[in-house]
Amino acid sequence: MILVGELSLWVALLMAAWTTIVSYSGGHQGRADLIRSGERALYATFAFTLVASIGIWTALFTHDFSLKFVASFTSINLPKVYTFTAFWAGQSGSMLFWCLILTMYAAIAVFSNRQTNRPMMPWVTGTLGVISLFFLMMMCFGANPYERIDWIPPDGRGMNPQLQNPGMAIHPPMLYLGLVATAVPFAFAVGALITRNLDAAWLGAVRRWALVSWFFLTIGITLGMWWAYVELGWAGYWAWDPVENSSFFPWLTGTAFLHSIMIQEKRGMLKKWNVTLVMATFLLSILGTFITRSGIIESVHAFAKSDVGYWFLYFLIASTALSAYLVATRLNDMKAKAELESMVSREAAFLYNNLVLVGICLATLWGTLLPILSEWVSGDKLNVGRPYFNTVNWPLGLLLLALTGIGPLIAWRRASVSNLRRQFTFPIALGVVVFVALIALGMRAPYALVSYLIAGFVMGTILQEFYKGIGARRRMYSEGLFAASMRLVGRNRRRYGGYIVHFGVVVMFCAFAGQLFVREVEPLVKTGDVVKATDAYGKEWTFTSQGLSSFNQLNRKVLAISFAVTRDGKPMGILSSEKRQHVDSRGEDTFEPSTEVGLLESPSQDVYMVFTGAVDAQTAAVHITFNPLVWWVWFGGIMMAFGGIIVMWPQAHRSERESGYVAEMKPRAVPELVGAGS
């Protein structure tokens, strides 16, 4: 199976090359046989990549340590689940995994669109073929997971303990599913530009794929935050590290696109902008991959410097040049059908939303690339850290949050005074009430107060929308509260799913503001010592040391410190943090010791404890952090993903009514009956 897999990799490479050549020439000459052959070759590329992946999994599970990849990342005593996930733990395996997802997406996209978007499909297929070809080539010649070593070690090195975590097991696949999905809209954009089919036709498919990408990126980024929080021990979840930022860029432009596409659908505006966003999203995910793989920017997440990174750079330069050329030569085909009529309109709100999202993206990109750019310009490497990103992105983020409330409620084209009064009186009132209440409760941090004011406003808009919608259904159809809410969301998935996503965003912003109220202590404790501390809510905590204990567990030796915890005299349970030394199957130490964080989670705050070192058999040094509202970051992430599912869920065809610009584009065979549809 391993040999079959290795050969399949090369066959997949040939298939991808074939796909590219015959699809492009088929599209160019309009020959249906070549086009069909290209499509089939793309399916074959997927099939052979799948076989190659199964080969690697076989090697992992049979512990074939003659493969460098298997020996580097697994050992005999590694738990089964991590043996499975070791597939994406190293450079070459993760590249294969990337190819697997890419070819799978390509096959699905081509199969589901082969009838609908006929003229542009050969170019879409060909472009997906080129991208697959690039990744497969890079893997076959640059980072081959089937590479052998000239000796067969009796056991592998094992997996880095920090990666032996459920979050890390599923974070990379989610991120890859998101990053790779940006390739499909990109391919459609190329197809649409080449064939000059730049009206509404290609948008349907592109929007679905952009949603898929957004959905997985959201989950991937949230899981990454969670992993960093529980595993890295610095009590935070986002450090503006280049690697974290890399996944954030395509998320930002993808989010911008999902909003601006609505303006094109309704009003036929922003065509150039949308094509640019689609292409930029893909190019940014390649840029992110380049940053993380090349090691060009110093990051906590280390990635051994390798030549593989530069393949991405060349690919990035080539595809950027091609994209720019295509857009520049097609500007005349992308004339807007309408103009912006008023600053007080949904179009304007969405435009500002796009501006801010892209602004955040550019500011973050600038900060991330500064070491490289400054070295080019002045010869000195300059570097910015968290203060830069926070200073720039807080105001932009709050503006974005406010637009989250304004955009969905303000009228299209030109909002009237009565529209504004009807829609915004309650939300503004709610924001002000929250603001005043927090001041009365003693909150003084200006950033936090402004954040909660805006969050209250946005929450008001969402509540009001649900209240009105549910009320209308109950009156019209005399449904119960539950049935009315279910059907309201079910019948308008895009709209109400979107509100649920916005709800998640508001919750996240509230949680971020909680970081302004972190309290921490760093005591040295002997067995029986009591540590007293006060949190941001003014509650008194005690931590009574239960002493150090050491024991063996699974594939590791553990040294643990435990505390009995009380809050205002009430027992809160036991809090333990561990130093773990992982061992291989012979009991030899592998890797550096890792620290397991002690965590007492609750919606109001987390108590986060890190065992920093043992002074002697009795005394431990610990770091305790009171971390308000972190729980809501995960909740907000779940809500965003949940809203995303609702938006993506396939709609039954009958309720899919097209309106506005899209409806005008479609030939209408049968005149609509008066009053049909609601």
| Footprint of another protein on 112-171 (CB under 8 A) | 143, 149, 151, 153-155, 157-158, 160, 162-163
Closer residue to another protein (CB): 122 or 371: 371
- C-alpha separations of 230 from 18, 299, 559, 635 in Å: 46, 19, 18, 16
Closer residue to another protein (CB): 305 or 475: 305
Closer residue to another protein (CB): 193 or 356: 356
Least distance in angstroms from the C-beta of 10 to another protein: 22
Hunting for tokens 């930029």 — which residue is that? 280
**Residue 27 CA neighbour count, 13 Å, CB half:** 23
CB 530 within 8 A of CB 544: yes
Which one among 253, 623, 630, 661 touches another protein, defined by CB under 8 A? 623
Burial letters for 54-91: b for 16+ Cβ neighbours within 10 Å, e otherwise?
A: bbbbebbeebbbebbbbbbbbbebbeeebbebbbbbbb
Which one among 328, 380, 442, 669 touches another protein, defined by CB under 8 A? 380
Within positions 29 to 88, which residues make up the interface with another protein, using CB under 8 A? 68, 71-73, 75
Which one among 272, 301, 474, 491 touches another protein, defined by CB under 8 A? 301
Pattern 255-294, another protein, x by CB under 8 A: --------------------------------------x-
Q: In angstroms, rounded to a whole number, what is the distance separating the alpha carbons of residues 80 and 43?
A: 31
Helices 242-267, 203-231: inter-axial angle, 10-degree rounding:
150
Among the listed ranges 122-130, 363-371, 499-507, 555-563, the one in contact with another protein (CB under 8 A) is 363-371
CB 9 within 8 A of CB 139: yes
Least distance in angstroms from the C-beta of 140 to another protein: 16
Secondary structure in 3-state letters for 448-502 = HHHHHHHHHHHHHHHHHHHHHHHHHHHHHHCCCHHHHHHHHHHHCHHHHHHHHHH
Closer residue to another protein (CB): 20 or 625: 625
560 in helix, strand or coil?
Answer: strand
Pattern 166-205, another protein, x by CB under 8 A: ----------------------------------------
CB 226 within 8 A of CB 189: no
Closer residue to another protein (CB): 89 or 187: 89
Sign, Cα dihedral of 327, 328, 333, 336: positive
Among the listed ranges 27-35, 303-311, 439-447, 655-663, the one in contact with another protein (CB under 8 A) is 303-311
Closer residue to another protein (CB): 79 or 154: 154
Pattern 564-593, another protein, x by CB under 8 A: --------------------x-x-xxxxxx
Closer residue to another protein (CB): 540 or 589: 589
| Tokens representing residue 166 in the block | 């459920």
Taking CB under 8 A as the rule, does residue 657 contact another protein?
Answer: no
Which one among 1, 621, 662, 665 touches another protein, defined by CB under 8 A? 621
Which residues make Cβ contacts (< 8 Å) with residue 204, sequence separation at least 6? none
Within positions 526 to 555, which residues make up the interface with another protein, using CB under 8 A? none
